[in-house]
Amino acid sequence: MQVKAPRGTYDIMPDEIYKWHQLEQIIRTTAETFGYAEIRTPIFEHTELFERGVGDTTDIVSKEMYTFLDRSNRSLTLRPENTASCVRAFIEHSVAGGVLPVKWYYMGPMFRYDRPQAGRYRQFHQFGVEAFGSDNPALDAEVISLVLEILANLGLQEYELHLNSVGCPECRELYRQQLISHIRPVKDKLCTDCQTRFEKNPLRVLDCKVASCQEAIAGFPNMYDYLCPGCSKHYSRVQSILTDVGIAYIHDNQLVRGLDYYTNTAFEIMIPLIGAQSAVAGGGRYNGLVKECGGPQMPGIGFAMGLERLLLAMNSQENSRTNPGQLDVFLALLDEKNETRAAHILSGLRRAGIRADRDYNHRSAKAQMKYADKMGARLVLLLGEDEIQKGVVTIRDMQTRQQSEVSNEALIAAIKAILE
Ligand code: HAM
């Protein structure tokens, strides 16, 4: 029986990869202009890191982790997200003793045992940033403006920024109690998930997508009205900076996020155009997480964006660029006697950084031209007996359809001039 890719995973084939390279390049460059440096953490971590970091009542930890025992009976988990790993690395490398804030970015695969559908996979890719060591609301605004800058550089203009404050552990606890006492009398009207989670995690009922849950909690108190003076001041400051720099947002009382570590600012970016899985990015502050994971008291803030969803959005907004092709130059070998000359030309081109290839399958001249076209080669070099005699190569420009003879010595310079 044929073995297929596991459910929720997929191959990125070579004719699609250029889109990923473009996306990754634009994102990296933008993040670096904001002062972020790349960190790469392991794909798997001790399971306990996510239980403590992300929270064991969250859907991610309770239902969606790929957890396994290794041969020494250690419980390990494929990372479902990367904030907890960054926090671990921050503590493990004693980064807190250096210059703060520290600004990191990452890009790579994450794993969640989610129900696959368009825009939702079991292995997916995130780009994210984490900034440790400042609780200045200006940093919250800067992190949000980085997401928007990335979207702008990707040519994505139609999005919504949802913003909320989930307060600090003190004011959130008061709100939590209030919410539980309001939910308890209407408990029976909730979906089965919410019936089991509302005592432990009542805030999750707020962003439950089931209509009957939303009806049952309509008019219930909002976190906003329970923010303590410190949290309220922080949130007002974030809002006013965003307004000052011209960033439009929607204050969203229902936005609570699916991970337990958030404090104060929480935000999500939606692109409704891409369908049900419209959240392309999400993040917020986590001022207690470093301490929770065994480090010093240290504020932090970050976000992550789903690369698959960004690509979906780019495709649906028809902003995707055309495939630049795999080759710059294709060498058409018209006589097998010229093998050695061909090998010299090819290695010279490749050393000069020109993407070059040749025919290995004894195709006819016509078939070689067709193949060159398919590979997206801008130029075809013709090397026949005539050329060898004269010490030249014929260059055919596939765009202008013009041909010219160039001496062996002048070949690389001539090709570079055309390609540039
Ligand atoms: P998250 O909201 O769980 O946050 O994920 C961030 C983004 O990853 C989502 O907005 C979505 O675009 C993408 N994503 C999540 N799950 C899937 C999936 N199954 N398939 C495809 N894309 C998906 C976090 O992960 C936090 N660590 C973000 C953060 C960083 N907060 C602070 N710092």
How many structural domains compose the chain? 2
Q: Which helix (H) or strand (E) holds 152?
A: helix 137-153
Terminal Cα distance for the chain, rounded: 50
- Measure 70 CA to ligand 1 centroid, in angstroms: 27
* Structure confidence by residue, pLDDT tens digits, 119-135: 999 999 999 999 999 99
| Residue 404: its H or E element | strand 403-407
Euclidean distance between CA atoms 169 and 287, whole angstroms: 10
Which pLDDT score, from 0 to 100, does residue 417 have? Answer: 95
Whether residues 45 and 95 fall in one domain: yes
Give this prediction's pTM. 0.90
- What residues make up the domain containing 34? 14-168+228-316
Query: Using one digit for the tens of pLDDT, what is the confidence trace for 24-54?
Result: 999 999 999 999 999 999 999 999 999 999 9
**Cα 81 from Cα 363, distance rounded (Å):** 49
Which pLDDT score, from 0 to 100, does residue 320 have?
A: 47
112, part of any domain? yes
219: left (phi over 0), alpha (psi -120 to 50) or beta: left
- 94 contacts: CB under 8 Å, gap ≥ 6: none
Residues 253, 376 share a domain:
no
Smallest CA-to-CA distance from 164 within 150, 175, 178, 156 is with 175
- Residue 250 main-chain phi, psi, to 5 deg: -115, 120
Helix or strand (DSSP H, E) at 407: strand 403-407
322 domain-assigned? no
Pairwise CA distance, residues 377 & 385, whole Å: 23
**C-alpha 101 – ligand 1 centre gap (Å):** 23
Mean pLDDT confidence for 296-319: 91
Q: Are residues 346 and 291 in the same domain?
A: no
The reply to whether ligand 1 has any atom less than 6 angstroms from the CB of 87 is no
Ligand 1 proximity of 76 Cβ (cutoff 6 Å): no
Domain contains 180: no
Note whether 196 and 308 are within 8 A (CB).
Answer: no
Please write the tens of the pLDDT for every residue from 212-246. 999 999 999 999 999 999 999 999 999 999 999 99
pLDDT at 142: 98
Same domain? 283 vs 364: no
**Cα distances (angstroms) measured from residue 375 to each of 330, 360, 365:** 9, 14, 16
Q: Is the residue at 185 inside a domain?
A: no
Q: Whose CA is nearest to atom 10 of ligand 1?
A: 281
Task: Average the pLDDT over 142-156 and give the result.
Answer: 96
- Does residue 272 share a domain with residue 365? no
Which of 85-89, 199-203, 415-419 has the least mean pLDDT?
Answer: 199-203
Amino acid sitting at position 151: L
pLDDT of residue 323: 62
CA nearest ligand 1 atom 17, residue = 120
More confident residue, 325 or 55: 55
Centre of ligand 1 to C-alpha 1, Å, is 35
Query: How does pLDDT run across 311-346, given as a tens digit for each residue?
Result: 999 988 765 445 667 899 999 998 888 899 999 999
| In a domain? residue 221 | no
Q: Which atom of ligand 1 is nearest to the CA of 281?
A: 10
**Do 339 and 285 have their domain in common?**
no
Q: How far apart are CA 77 and CA 49, in angstroms?
A: 9
Residues 151 and 31 occupy one common structural domain: yes
Calpha distance 256→238 (Å, rounded)? 17
- Sign, CA torsion 242/244/246/249: positive
CATH number of the structural domain spanning residue 350: 3.40.50.800
- The reply to whether 406 and 264 lie within a common domain is no
pLDDT over 60 (residue 385): yes
The residue with tokens 């921050």 is: 90
pLDDT at 344: 94
